[in-house]
Structure 1
Amino acid sequence: MPLLDWRDARHFDAHRDLPCVLCGRPTPMRSHDREPVHKVCAENWCDQNPRSNRFHN
């Protein structure tokens, strides 16, 4: 699977960190649905759940 492309500024919240929905550690990153999630956590989740499009644009 290709790496997720989150270069768009909408994937970054410069004002606050929130707990990652997958690991619980703070992150300024947001998915396309605005869920707080680290890019690496989302990529690992996608690898483990290939039929889901949860973190894909």
Structure 2
Amino acid sequence: MRDGLTARLWLSADPSRQLRTIAARTGLRPEQTLAQIVDQTRMDDTGALTVDTFTPH
């Protein structure tokens, strides 16, 4: 069995443009960029989410 998730996601215009811009600059597809952002996301004890600085590849 494969460990993963398939989801359909609708973003408002601003976040969508930001994601597409980041993806274009890195040569990745938007879904690859989003997956890397999620991989870097951490939750603290209070439930707050943070994303450490990283370079998508």
Which structure has the larger Rg over C-alpha atoms?
2
**Normalising by structure 2, what TM-score?**
0.35
More helix by share: 2
Asked which structure has the greater RCO (Cα within 8 Å, sep 6+), the reply is: 1
